[in-house]
Structure 1
Amino acid sequence: MYLKAVEINGFKSFGEKVYIDFNRGITSIVGPNGSGKSNILDAVLWVLGEQSYKNIRAKESQDVIFSGGKEKKAATKAEVSLIIDNSDRYLDFDNDIVKITRRIHITGENEYLINDSKSRLKEIGTLFLDTGIGKTAYSVIGQGKVERIINSSPKEIKNIIEEAAGIKKLQANRLEAQKNLGNIEVNLDKVEFILNETRENKNKIEKQAELAQKYIDLKDEKSSLVKGIFITELEQKKKNLVENEDIKVKSEEECSILQEKFDKTLNRLTTIDLEKEEVKKQKILIDSRNKELKDVISTKETEQAVTRERLDNFKKDKLLKEEYSLHLENKIEKKLEEINTLIAKKEELSKNILEMEAANKEFERKINELEAIKVEKTDLIESRNKKIRDLELEKQLSSNEIENNERKLKSSLDEVESLKKELDETTKKELANNEEKDLLNSQIEAKQEELIKTEERNEFLVNQLSEISKTINKLSQDIREYEYQEKTSSGKLEALIRMEENNEGFFKSVKEVLNSGISGIDGVLISLIKFDDKLAKAIEAAVSGNLQDIIVEDKEVAKKCIAFLTERKLGRASFLALDTIKVSRREFKGNMPGVLGLAADLVSAEDKYKKVVDFVFGGLLIVENIDVATDILNKNLFAGNIVTVNGELVSSRGRITGGENQKSSINQIFERKKEIKVLEEKVSNLKSKIVEESKRREDLSIKLENYENEIDKIDSLEDSIRKKMELLKKDFENLSEKSERISKELRNIKFNIDDAEKYKTSYQDKINSSVSNIEEIEKHINSLRKDLEADELTLKETLANIDELNKQFSDTRIIFLNNKNSIEQYERDIISKENENSDLKEEKEKNSNVVMELSQNIEELEKNEEQLQKEIEEHIKIYNSENRDIEVLNERENNLSNEERELSKDKSKLETDLLHSNDRLEKIIEVIEKIKTDIENINEKLTELTDVTAKAVEVEKLKSSKDYLRSLENKINNFGDVNLLAINEFKELKEKYDYLARERDDVVKSRKQVMDLIQEIDERIHEDFHTTYENINENFNKMCEETIRNTEGRLNIINPEDFDNCGIEIFIKFKNKKKQPLSLLSGGEKSMVAIAFIMAIFMYKPSPFTFLDEIEAALDEKNTKNLLAKLRDFTDKSQFILITHNKETMKESDSIFGVTMNKEIGISKIVSPDKIIKILDSNKESN
């Protein structure tokens, strides 16, 4: 197996997709600092499941996603894949190529894939178990990890040895087996508890089953006797049936004769009814015709009345319309008179307007002449004003030009003075430059001292990081142990709580009632009270019969529960109804040592159940021992029962009960409650410890992070000092350039002074010219203003003339305009009146048409009224004729009624005789039917008793047999409540008990198997570990001799008797020197010891591929060559990928590629080795 390639996309500085091929042997990754070489190693650690972002040089998950750069957007996800050649099936995966992928989105969501199929981190970890490959294994040695190995705790060194021993999978199996063992222990406790409960229930139900069997035997005897009685009674019933059948025949003959006479009478009565019905039909027919005639007459009369009413209405309407026509004629005449009046007024006003029109035209002519003069003068004034404004503007421009020239002249003089001052200042600047040089030298010396201090602080922080890391690892181990204990205890606690919630341990009847869902059940007494654990034996001994009493809201709820138990035959239970119990509390007024107090005071419950507590415990005193109890009894200090804390019970009458109880269901419930309480306290304590240790670990982690941050700051500070020194040099160069600029500025100043003198004369000439121009402009303006005053005077006189004309002609013009308006109004009024007159004529014509229509309607209605009168008289004649036929039919109906009365009397007598005869026959039939029913019932009962053997019963002994039957029934009734299900229940409980016993045996067997498996795994772990340890110890000593001259190296197990908590220390002893701690070794020596240790592991179990990040950084050239030679020895078993700056390493590599970074956009790229070497050389030359 070897690593074929790594694919990186969007991870840290690899903003673009990169595919890196790897060959077998040694591969070097080179590139300048900050190019992103170590990000490849971080990517490998990350894809192998690293969860601590600090270990891959990041603060949070988003830090591993490419953050973007110049004209390059940030990535939305990061993805890394390892492509592994697995053709030798080194990994337990049936494929030649294995691709491991990890992907993280900007939202923080992680995905793991194996060959592009979704997977879990656990599956990836399992795949690489015991291979030396993993996030914490020895196959990835990052920057600083070499030294951290040396500074690792003994426990961490042991973990590395365990990885090499390949026992991680065994440890995982052991942990899984231990979890299974914990579950088995919980299941075994549960099975034992249920088995004990089932045994108790089986023993109790066994007696009920025996009683039920006796009950069934008596029932069988009763059934046999009942069948014999039924057979004898059946024979008697059959004899009675034959006798009653003969009587029935005679009664039927008598009934037949009476029935014949009755039928004849009934037939005649029927005929009479038919004749009477015919008469009624004729009468109804005539009545119907008369009714129709009457309705017709009524309708005609109604129609006649309506016609008359309409006739009257039409006559009234005609009269009104005629009156309205006269009214319209009068209005039309008035309108004509109004129109003529308006026309006369209009003609008179027209004459007046013609007379005034000539005067109005003369007025308008004069006004127009004056207005023309007004417009002319106004335009001339505006023109002169505009000319004055233009001259004023020109004057202002000349003044501004004078000011500008004066300002320029002054500016030239000021500039000369300014340049002279600048010359003095430049000289001063040159002196200041020399002083600044001296200051720069002192600053460089100060920065060098600061650099030494930061290096010392850096070394201190690195040592602190090592110590804190050891402490954090120890805390993590303790937390894991506490978490395991808490999980085990919580699992057991949850099982016990579930048993309590499921009412395990209670009597079956109690459990069924609690699970019935009946409203008003508060619970079982034992579940609703609390007391000290030491009182458990006393309470169990004194009131064990009451502890499973069910507390209910009232007696109605108790009745429902009892009915529920009775209906389902589930057994018996006791109930304490809160509304019915009577409390009788006894008080102990003595004051004796050894008396704990009344049980009612020592047992607590909710206020709601205080009455129940007093009811059950109010007559019970709890004392320390039997001597105190008997002493109280002898002195008559307490009238109730007394119980000791050990369970000895002394009754109020002197009976003493004691001994050791076997494990009862109550005892088991008490034990369960006690265990729940202990487990709750244990779980709470463990959780507190976990929180405390986690807080301590978190504080140390923050401290560790602060130190790491400080190291980062120190590194930044060193870079800053160097950069500042470079800046100081650049500042010196800038000062020299500044001197040259000052000389150039002096030359420019002299030239500018000469130039300013030339401009002075030019500016003075321009000022004189502008003054002459201003004087000419002012003369022109004065002339224009005189003309303007004359024009304004003329305009004022014209306006006054216009006002005077308007005043003179204003009244005449108003009259003229009013008359014109009045003529227009008269014209409108004339048109309106003519329209109204036209409407009135049209209305008059319509009204005349309506009068004509009304006259026609009146004539038609008068004809209709005459016709209706004739029809009414004809119908009245027909109606009188029909009434005479009805009188004849009434006489026929009376005769038939008389005959019907006589026949009805005869019918009543015959009916009575027939009824009595039928009653006798029916009674006989009822007797026969009853006998038949009895026979049928007896046969049905005998059918039910088919499987029962009948006991012979003679007719003479029938009564005595029935008496004996009643005695049997009494015996059966005296059994009371018999649980007939007890037999089957006993059988089921026995089967359940046997099954549970087998289950317990199986669980015990499983427990032994798991314990044996754990022991076997432990032995295998110890054996493999010690074998690996001995080999690596030997290899380590050999490597120390080879790589570090004159040294001995060995590994030593600390606390070997406690394998799980033991550790391994690394010891180094230079020949001819005393043994010294590793912390006193130089950086190079530490690196060589760490490399020797790593190579010792590789000699025993090489990893298929290994990443080494600048592992030779602290080594000299000779040791580097030795290291590379050792790595070359392992290339047939392992593949090495080295991140390096060392040219010796590059020379020995089988393949090499470079990493560089575009600083503008911050993206790392893979480049050819030639190009990367050029980049490295150019960096060295610039430094």
Structure 2
Amino acid sequence: YLQTSREAEALQQKYASLSKSLAGAETDLEARNIDYVKAIEDLGALKSNLSGFIAEKGINDERAKTILSLVNQQKARLDEELTNLAIYDGKVKSAKERMRALMSEYNEALSTKLENQEAIQSYAEDIVSLNSKLGLAQGNLNLLTSIKNEYSGYQDAVKRLMQDSKHDPVIGSKIWGVLAEVITVPSDFEAAIEYALGGAMQNVLVETERDASDLINYLKQKGYGRVTFRPLTSCRPRPLTGENRGVLTEPGCYGLASELIKYDKKFDGFVQTLLGGTVVVNNIDNAIRIFKKYNQSIKIVTLDGEIFSRGGEITGGSRRSQTQGLLAQEKKIEQAQANLEKIKNNIALLNNQRAEREQELKDLTDKIEQLNQEISELRIENSLNEDKSKQAYEVTQSLQEEISKNAEEYEIVKARIKELEEKISSIDELEKVVAEKKEEYTSMLESSKNVSSEQKSEREVMAEQVTEIRVKLAGHKSILDACDQDLFRYRRERETLEDEKLDVIAALKLEQQNLDNITNAPEKTTFSKEDEARIAALEKQIADLNVRKRTISDEIVSLDQEKTRITDERMAVNEKKVRDENMLENVDIEMRTQQQHILEEYDLTYASAVEFKDPEFKAYGALTVISDLKKSINRLGDVNPLALQTLKETEERLQEQTTYRDDIQKAYDDIVTIINELTGEMQTKFSDAFDQISENFKDVFQQLFGGGKGELRLNMQDTDDVLEAGIDIYAQPPGKKLQNISLLSGGEQALTAISILFAILKLKPMPFCVLDEIEAALDDANVNLFAEFLKKFSDYTQFIVITHRKPTMRHADTIFGVTMEEKGVTKIVSIEFEEAAKHAK
């Protein structure tokens, strides 16, 4: 019994373990089935939405492509607009810099133009002034040249002889010149040389004594008077002796007079004869010192004209206000010529400078016009570039905003595509999982079936063994309490029922799972009615769901197509919107350009221009009219923006020049009036004086000639002006007929000339009068008569007479005698007759 009990207990434990293992396998199989079913449900749900996912993904892919293409286009346009913006900004910056440079250049050119205008005006005034000075200088030069050519300032005989030498080749060939005109003296030594030479300045230089003799005969023939000739062959230079050469190193000594002047070498004999031994010193004190030191053996002349002669004579005193000026004539002419050339050069220089300024002014005017045109064009171009820059900036801002929005939308679409791709990818993965679970479940199911069959068989065997053991125990324990046996039996039966119950439940669950997965359990060929009913219901439900699915798919496809159409229309509308906006911007730019054009061309704003709008205007033919008008405008030339200012300046200059001209004209008229008045007064006075002199001449002529008739007549043959008329002198000595003075003898001519002199003095006595051998041609009787006339007129005029005639000397008050005891040594002796008479008494 105990062994049987132990065997029964061991079998019971083994049976329990086997039952537990079978229950665990069934539980695992059930769990696997649940996972498999859930995966199939999830897969079905995902597959039901798969077409929607795919359609939505396709739409989003197209949308993403569209957005990406649009963004790329917008980025390309943005790059283009940014490039344009940089270009326009660069142009604006460059234009502003160019504008500043042009304005600076314009202001500088304008300032320079004003300076040139002022300079040209100044040059014009200076040229007028210099032309006036030129006329005076030319007149001065002509006067000096005339004085030189006519030998004014020379003795009358010298003057006539030199004038004849210019026209008579024979006479001219014998004369080398006058000493004063063949030497050139520095201005500092003019007075000294002139006093040193004295009357020798008017010496006529000839080659031989024969030439001098011929010329003297010519003078006699012409009756010109006396002239001192200096033949070269008679010249005897008297240089300083060796013992006197030391004077040249004395303080205050300038040197030999012959070395202080300039002359041609062929005149060296004349110069050395007259000045070779004459020393020039600075003042009289040094002259006295040197004169004493060298024992009065040197001729000295000071700068003030004091002369220290060999032998001790000293000549000096007050200087004449002016020397004869013979030495300075050539220098004055040279100075006058130099002054004239200087004025001409200054005028030429001013004319050149004015021409340069005028050319520069013309260039500046052209430059200002060009700069003004460039500035105007640059302003227009800069305005257009600023508008384009502003437009490009606005476009770039708009594009950047659109790109940002499209980029955000693109990211959203891409995220949705990724999400859909993940869902679609999860379906494939889930199908793989379902397939794996199906295979695993099928394998497990097969294994479970095999294991459960074996375990059930083993369990049945064990159950039979347990029963047999129990029977044995029952037989062996018959003696045991029937209750215990029944209880044990009931307990075993209960356990069996419970096991069967579990088996049934497991079978039911398995059948339920198999029913739910009919499609996945092809090995099952027979179903219960309930299963068939359930399968039919499920199939009907699946069919309905498939129909619903197809309907929904069709609706989704239709909606996708509608969405695609609407998207395309929206994109077309957006593109049209962009084109229209660009067109509007172009229209705005064109309107602004036209407004700027109207403002610049016609100086009118748009509002002002609208007032001129003609509602009845016909556009037909307007272009032809506009073209003709533009051609007419072009023919007018470039518009000078400074024309008004230039006109104002020109008018001011015209007014100034007109005033200046009027002043000059008034001054000219006043001068002409004064000249006419002076001329009229001079003519009147000259006529009155000439008539009076003519009457005086008649009286004096009769007194000097002891009868006869003298007459002065005006020669009006070539002029109507008495001031320009010549004077004809007619004389009729007693016993002769009335004839021209040129037909009289030398004595008669001289006496007639003396008559004219006294006739003039009788009209208007002079303070003093110098007469140089005026009576040389008269005989003694006429000389005495001449002297008496001098005495009579000496009450009103002091006469200084150079004479060799005794009657003249007898009637003089004072006599200065000049004698030369030896060659080169002159002495002066003076006698006052009144004092002499007193001493004689």
TM-score range, shorter chain: 0.3 to 0.5
TM-score scaled to structure 1, two decimals?
0.25
TM-score scaled to structure 2, two decimals?
0.34
Instruction: Give the greater-gyration-radius structure (CA).
Output: 2
| Structure with higher RCO (Cα < 8 A, 6+ apart) | 1
